[in-house]
Amino acid sequence: ESVPLYWVWFGLVFVFALRQSIVLATTQSQLTATSFFWTEAKLREAVLHALRKTTYHWQELSYSEGLSLVYMAARLDGGFAAVSRAFHEIRARNPTFQPQTLMDFGSGTGSVTWAAHSVWGQTLREYMCVDRSTAMLVLAEKLLKGGSESGEPYIPGVFFRQFLPVSPKVQFDIVVSAFSLSELPSRADRNEVVQTLWRKTHHFLVLVENGTKAGHSLLMDARDLVLNGNEKSPLDPRPGFVFAPCPHELPCPQLTTSKPLACSFSQAYHPIPFSWNNKPKEEKFSMVILARGSPEEANRWPRITQPVLKRPRHVHCHLCCPDGHMQHAVITARRHGRDLYRCARVSSWGDLLPVFTPSAFPLSPAQDPSES
């Protein structure tokens, strides 16, 4: 996925050709030496800037003991907040779901385990944490034991290993990959991992990444891979569907516009109370939750994809609708009823809006009521 080497050579040759042209122009127009070198520097900077934007330099990151501690201090709390938001989405819409087993791919310092325990701690009896880094696994185990190596773990039933289970018969009620797919070296590696994780999924596959266009695009690739996959395991032939956040299985409307946007969400949280890190923060992330079963089981209400703008006597909601389109809905009590209007006013970014006919909302900005 990196730019071939000949493009780099092309850039260098391009700079050299421009330099020669500038030399000729300098001779003909008798430019001063100062203006010549200034123009050459600007051209070189422009070419290098273009090369940096189009060249992908992937390097595997090896987590040592010290680097694992740095990662824990920087990302444990934010990762916990994002994954907790995804888990609460499942519990809110499926309160009878009581998972017993969980697998976390790229478990790191164990934020997924802590988040799952806070939501389903009464029923979960097995947590499988998979990470290639030995230092990360050791640190995660120490955290569970209160910082010691010999204490009793706070959460029982947690197991650590460096590789995914090989047996195709082994499935987990919830399979999670949080901020791990983006660390894989290529699309082929990501596809292989996603297919493996889906085969291990008995109920829900939860994928979480950074709330950027790259992270969102990566998750949409994983979503489409599962939905369009022809591979059906004889052990679990049930198809997959999107449980959240998308209310449809169509192409993401935020990626098909002339200016693609990331479908992201924000979760407020209190960070680890270090002396330099004691103010409330927000974690911006993208997620997709895939489930086994029939799409008819899903709730097809539109999803609020941006912060809700509350104005006098009307509310602006940006919605991703079940028909696969984005819609800017301007909701008023007079046109849509007091119940829906009040519901919209108390809704937040990432919520589902309980309405089945979003096409009835006004689309034209000219129809928006005055904000004064």
Question: Domain check: are 220 and 97 in the same one?
Answer: yes
Asked, for residue 262, whether it belongs to a domain, the answer is: yes
CA distance 317 to 344: 8
Asked, for residue 174, whether it belongs to a domain, the answer is: yes
Question: Domain check: are 206 and 220 in the same one?
Answer: yes
CA distance 155 to 213: 35
Query: Higher pLDDT residue, 229 or 53?
Result: 229
> Tens digit of pLDDT for each residue in 164-222?
988 878 999 999 999 999 999 999 999 999 999 999 999 999 999 999 999 999 999 99
> Tens digit of pLDDT for each residue in 66-115?
999 999 999 999 999 999 999 999 999 999 999 999 999 999 999 999 99
- Of the three residues 269, 297, 325, the one that is the final residue of a domain is 297
- Would you tell me how many other CB atoms lie within 10 Å of the CB of residue 53? 8
> Tens digit of pLDDT for each residue in 283-341?
999 999 999 987 765 668 999 999 999 999 899 999 999 999 999 999 999 888 889 89
CA distance 347 to 309: 10
pLDDT at 246 over 90: yes
For 33, the enclosing helix (H) or strand (E) is: helix 33-54
- Of the three residues 277, 297, 317, the one that is the final residue of a domain is 297
Asked, for residue 317, whether it belongs to a domain, the answer is: yes
CA dist 306 → 17, 254, 309, 347 (Å): 47, 12, 9, 11
Question: Domain check: are 204 and 269 in the same one?
Answer: yes
Asked, for residue 70, whether it belongs to a domain, the answer is: yes
Q: Are 260 and 315 within 8 A, CB to CB?
A: no
What domain range is 196 assigned to?
A: 65-297
**What pLDDT is recorded for position 78?**
96
Question: Domain check: are 282 and 210 in the same one?
Answer: yes
Question: Domain check: are 89 and 150 in the same one?
Answer: yes
Asked, for residue 314, whether it belongs to a domain, the answer is: yes
Query: Higher pLDDT residue, 41 or 58?
Result: 41
> Strand (E) positions, the chain?
101-105, 126-130, 158-161, 172-178, 201-210, 240-244, 265-269, 281-292, 303-304, 309-311, 314-320, 326-331
State both tokens at 69. 């501690």
Q: Which of 154-163, 259-268, 359-368 has the lowest mean pLDDT?
A: 359-368
Question: Domain check: are 96 and 211 in the same one?
Answer: yes
Main-chain phi, psi angles of 282, to 5 degrees: -130, 135
Q: Which of 15-29, 215-229, 233-247, 311-325 has the lowest mean pLDDT?
A: 15-29
Its pTM stands at: 0.81
CA quadruple 359, 362, 365, 368: dihedral positive or negative?
Answer: negative
**What pLDDT is recorded for position 370?**
42
**What pLDDT is recorded for position 65?**
87
CA distance 206 to 198: 10
Domain total for the chain? 3
Asked, for residue 372, whether it belongs to a domain, the answer is: no
For 115, the enclosing helix (H) or strand (E) is: helix 111-120
Q: Which residue, among 203, 238, 20, has the nearest Cα to 97 in the 3D structure?
A: 203
Asked, for residue 60, whether it belongs to a domain, the answer is: no
- Give the largest Cα separation in the chain, rounded: 83
Side-chain half-sphere CA neighbours of 336 within 13 A: 25
**What pLDDT is recorded for position 165?**
87
Question: Domain check: are 13 and 159 in the same one?
Answer: no
Q: Which residue, among 344, 340, 279, has the nearest Cα to 318 in the 3D structure?
A: 344
State both tokens at 354. 């309980």
Q: DSSP secondary structure string, 293-340?
A: S-GGGS----EE-S--EEETTEEEEEEE-TTS-EEEEEE-HHHH-HHH
Question: Domain check: are 95 and 42 in the same one?
Answer: no
Question: Domain check: are 168 and 199 in the same one?
Answer: yes
- Of the three residues 246, 264, 297, the one that is the final residue of a domain is 297
> Strand (E) positions, 11-53?
none
Q: Are 184 and 190 within 8 A, CB to CB?
A: yes
Question: Domain check: are 50 and 139 in the same one?
Answer: no
CA distance 355 to 341: 11
pLDDT at 31 over 60: no
Asked, for residue 59, whether it belongs to a domain, the answer is: no
Is beta strand 240-244 parallel, antiparallel or unpaired with respect to 201-210? unpaired
Question: Domain check: are 179 and 81 in the same one?
Answer: yes
pLDDT confidence bin for 158, thresholds 50/70/90: very high
Question: Domain check: are 211 and 331 in the same one?
Answer: no
